[in-house]
């Protein structure tokens, strides 16, 4: 039996973006959050390093510098009107979080303390600036706890461990979502005037990734399957400092506090590549430099990794501490407790005594559901889908362009989560409920029945492993045409194998076997778009570095890409589908594209 619910506004996802939107929407609308994870288990809780805002508490700073850094960091693919909102509103959004009780670190005179992060500079690129507000290296955790408490206080309704499978859109009007209750596999229809998608990233398409197990982008795939476009999917960020082989993140906060990269010869190699910012250059650049060192045979022991060196002796020798000051072990233990603990637990290395092996790890989706600056989801380059919104990592506003700066995601969540939440509440006031189609849940029921009944010869785990290997090998830090072609064709073969799936657990109680198989179908769709969009873009820009097209090509490619399913009749996730691409112009206001040097 399908169960029905009705709320003014439904938010899909209980991470930072979802909770921020829920909190603001709930000031005037009846709101429910539908989330496959318990809210405080969302990936936002793992964000370590910080949240950017030009408060200027430590040294002079301004929102214009923050905006400039964001645009330049994104290799000029950023929509500058949105970046201006991000940088301006960040200041007020941080103060709002502070007033809600978020326990930020403090300076001795009681102001919010800030630290350096990659690509954030003073005076339009002159030197690194302290802009990241933080609560030790548990910033995301504190944001999530603070927002969740506020949502409870504001009487937001929560459907925790409800898995959204589909977005109901008819005649370009959003009418709600379909969800499965994880506990008993019952299908629930959520009828709403407005829906905001805040489902986070989808880094699980890669093998070496910092992303949590659940980051599979199901609602983003649902959007795409509805014939709606995904923007800039070729731009995926590889963070330079994943723990070797595991991909678990050691935050850039480490380098903000002075840690540096070292190659096999003991050289601080970033001095050669980026003389001004060195180890604090943006992530796409650092990741490429690491692989350049590896290719030149200067990886540790000739292997495919380098060291990150946290030892106070090294930091003080290279004068890489904040403001060139010496650091102590006590300071690092206080500023980076979780990061140091991760190295100890996962590598068995004490970073105070030995350097830590690191390699780039898939980290952040710059692309996703296209939106305007009020979170309204776009049906094409100009028109919105009535009543549908998106915010956070699943959305593409676009403030991150071709490469996101560290600490700019958390600020994106609060700034655009808040704007999206307010906009949907305003929309709900005069709006009525558009009727639900009778067949709203039919696709979900058919797909889950198919998966549960699957008696083929293919296992989801094996297909997922093949997908992740392929994406890491062929659509990674360095890319080239023939390899990406292999990825596009490879994903299509995996989709064919996915039709022949075998499921072991046929029950209804906490059936993660079936849910993870459904998630795999979503990852396959998103990986196909990612690989195809990357193959199509014949230039190097930000996180998209091509060996066969090494230059940025503004004449032809200063455009966002918009990917549509060519066949927008909704057939099952498993069908081979062709993709149609279009370009969307980049909004340029203050900063003309220039060469990107640090």
Ligand X SMILES: Cc1cc2nc3c(=O)[nH]c(=O)nc-3n(C[C@H](O)[C@H](O)[C@H](O)COP(=O)(O)OP(=O)(O)OC[C@H]3O[C@@H](n4cnc5c(N)ncnc54)[C@H](O)[C@@H]3O)c2cc1C
Joined tokens for residue 474: 């062929």
Q: Pattern of binders to ligand X over 348-377, x per CB under 6 A?
A: ----------------x-------------
Rounded to a whole number of angstroms, the minimum distance from the CB of residue 592 to ligand X is 27
Residue 163 binds to ligand X (criterion: CB under 6 A): yes
Interface characters, 221-250, with ligand X (x: CB under 6 A):
----------------------------x-
Is 542 a binder of ligand X (CB under 6 A)?
Answer: no
> Shortest distance, CB of residue 337 to ligand X, whole angstroms?
14
- Positive or negative, the Cα torsion across 540, 543, 545, 550? positive
Site for ligand X in 180-219 (CB under 6 A): 198-201, 210-211, 218-219
Per CB under 6 A, does 413 bind ligand X? Answer: yes
Strand 187-197 relative to strand 369-370: parallel, antiparallel, unpaired?
unpaired
Give the list of residues 6+ apart from residue 100 with CB closer than 8 angstroms, or none. 146, 147, 149, 150
Task: Name the residue with the smallest CB distance to ligand X.
Answer: 15
Q: Which residues touch 382 (CB under 8 Å, ≥6 apart)?
A: none
- Dihedral (CA of 326, 329, 330, 334) sign: positive
Q: Which is nearer to ligand X, 419 or 546 (CB)?
A: 419
User: 10, 50, 120, 584: which one contacts ligand X (CB under 6 A)?
Assistant: 50
Q: Do residues 71 and 591 make contact, with C-beta atoms less than 8 angstroms apart? A: yes
Q: Is 16 in the site for ligand X (CB under 6 A)?
A: yes
Helix, strand, or coil here: 492?
helix
Cα–Cα–Cα angle for 278, 281, 284, rounded to 5 degrees: 130
Residue number with CB closer to ligand X (16 or 299): 16
Annotated catalytic residue, options 283, 288, 546, 552? 283
Q: What is the DSSP letter of 586?
A: P
User: Looking at 16-24, 70-78, 79-87, 302-310, which segment touches ligand X (CB under 6 A)?
Assistant: 16-24
Residue 432 phi, psi (nearest 5): -100, -175
Which range, of 325-333, 403-411, 447-455, 476-484, touches ligand X by CB under 6 A?
403-411
Kindly state the smallest distance separating residue 389's Cβ from ligand X, in Å: 13
d(CA 55, CA 134): 12
283 is annotated as an active-site residue? yes
Q: Write out the binding residues for ligand X, residues 299-358 only, by CB under 6 A.
A: none
- Which tokens sit at 403? 């490469």
Question: Beta strand pairing status for 187-197 and 3-12?
Answer: parallel
Residue 34 forms beta bridges with which residues? Answer: 12, 159
Asked if 513 touches ligand X (CB under 6 A), the answer is: no
- Between 47 and 260, name the residue whose CB sits nearer to ligand X: 47
Q: How far is the CB of 316 from ligand X (least distance, A)?
A: 25
| Cα(409)–Cα(375) distance, integer angstroms | 15
Contact 477, 238 (CB under 8 A): yes
136 near 334, Cβ under 8 Å? Answer: yes
SS3 223: helix
Task: For residue 69, state whether it binds ligand X (rule: CB under 6 A).
Answer: no
Single residue of 34, 58, 87, 340 touching ligand X by CB under 6 A: 34
**Count of residues engaged in binding ligand X, rule: CB under 6 A:** 44
- Unique residue bearing structure tokens 């659940």: 214
User: Would you count residue 17 as binding ligand X (CB under 6 A)?
Assistant: yes
C-beta of 121 vs 199, nearer to ligand X: 199
Catalytic residues: 283
Residues that bind ligand X (CB under 6 A): 12-18, 34-37, 39, 42-44, 46-51, 139-140, 163-164, 198-201, 210-211, 218-219, 249, 251, 364, 392-394, 407-410, 413
């Amino acid at each position: 039996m399908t169960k029905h619910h009705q709320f003014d506004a439904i938010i899909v996802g209980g991470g930072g973006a979802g909770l921020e939107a829920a909190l603001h929407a709930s000031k005037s609308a009846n709101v429910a959050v539908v989330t496959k994870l318990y809210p405080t288990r969302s990936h936002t809780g793992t964000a370590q390093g910080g949240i950017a805002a030009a408060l200027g508490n430590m040294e002079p700073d301004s929102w214009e510098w923050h905006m400039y850094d964001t645009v330049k960091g994104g290799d000029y693919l950023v929509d500058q009107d949105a970046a201006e909102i991000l940088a301006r509103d960040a200041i007020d959004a941080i103060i709002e979080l502070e007033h809600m009780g978020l326990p930020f670190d403090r300076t001795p005179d009681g102001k919010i303390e800030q630290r350096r992060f990659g690509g954030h500079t003073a005076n339009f690129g002159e030197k690194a600036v302290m802009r990241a507000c933080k609560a030790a290296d548990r910033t995301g955790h504190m944001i999530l706890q603070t927002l969740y408490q506020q949502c409870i206080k504001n009487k937001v309704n929560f459907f925790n461990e409800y898995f959204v499978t589909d977005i109901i859109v008819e005649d370009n009007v959003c009418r709600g979502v379909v969800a499965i209750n994880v506990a008993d596999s019952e299908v629930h229809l959520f009828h709403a005037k407005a829906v905001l998608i805040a489902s986070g990233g989808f880094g699980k398409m890669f093998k070496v990734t910092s992303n949590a197990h659940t980051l599979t982008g199901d609602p983003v795939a649902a959007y795409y399957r509805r014939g709606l476009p995904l923007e800039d999917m070729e731009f995926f960020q590889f963070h330079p400092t994943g723990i070797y082989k595991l991909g678990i993140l050691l935050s850039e906060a480490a380098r903000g506090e002075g840690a540096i990269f070292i190659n096999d010869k003991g050289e601080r190699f970033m001095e050669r590549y980026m003389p001004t910012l060195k180890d604090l250059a943006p992530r796409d650049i650092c990741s490429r430099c690491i692989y350049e060192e590896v290719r030149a045979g200067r990886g540790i022991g000739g292997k495919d990794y380098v060291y990150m060196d946290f030892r106070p002796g090294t930091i003080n020798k290279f004068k890489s501490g904040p403001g060139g000051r010496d650091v102590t072990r006590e300071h690092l233990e206080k500023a980076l407790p979780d990061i140091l603990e991760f190295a100890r637990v996962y590598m068995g290395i004490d970073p105070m005594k030995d350097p830590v092996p690191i390699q780039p790890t898939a980290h952040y989706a710059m692309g996703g559901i296209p939106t305007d600056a009020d979170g309204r989801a776009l049906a094409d380059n100009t028109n919105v889908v009535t009543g549908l919104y998106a915010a956070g990592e699943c959305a593409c506003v676009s403030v991150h362009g071709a490469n996101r700066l560290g600490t700019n995601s958390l600020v994106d969540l609060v700034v655009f989560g808040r704007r999206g939440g307010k906009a949907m509440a305003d929309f709900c006031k005069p709006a009525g409920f558009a009727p639900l189609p009778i067949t709203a849940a039919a696709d979900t029921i058919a797909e889950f029945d198919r998966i549960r009944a699957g008696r083929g010869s293919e296992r989801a785990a094996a297909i997922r492993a093949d997908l992740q290997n392929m994406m890491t090998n062929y659509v990674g830090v360095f890319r080239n045409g023939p390899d990406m072609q292999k990825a596009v064709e490879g994903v299509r073969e995996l989709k064919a194998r996915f039709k022949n799936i075998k499921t072991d657990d046929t029950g209804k109680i906490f059936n993660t076997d079936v849910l993870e198989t459904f998630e795999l179908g979503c990852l396959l769709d998103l990986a196909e778009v990612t690989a195809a969009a990357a193959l199509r873009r014949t230039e190097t820009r930000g996180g998209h570095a091509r060996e066969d097209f090494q230059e940025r090509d503004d004449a032809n490619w200063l455009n966002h890409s918009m990917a549509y399913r060519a066949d927008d009749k909704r057939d099952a996730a498993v069908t081979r589908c062709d993709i149609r691409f279009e370009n969307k112009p980049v909004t340029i206001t203050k900063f003309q594209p220039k060469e990107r040097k640090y």
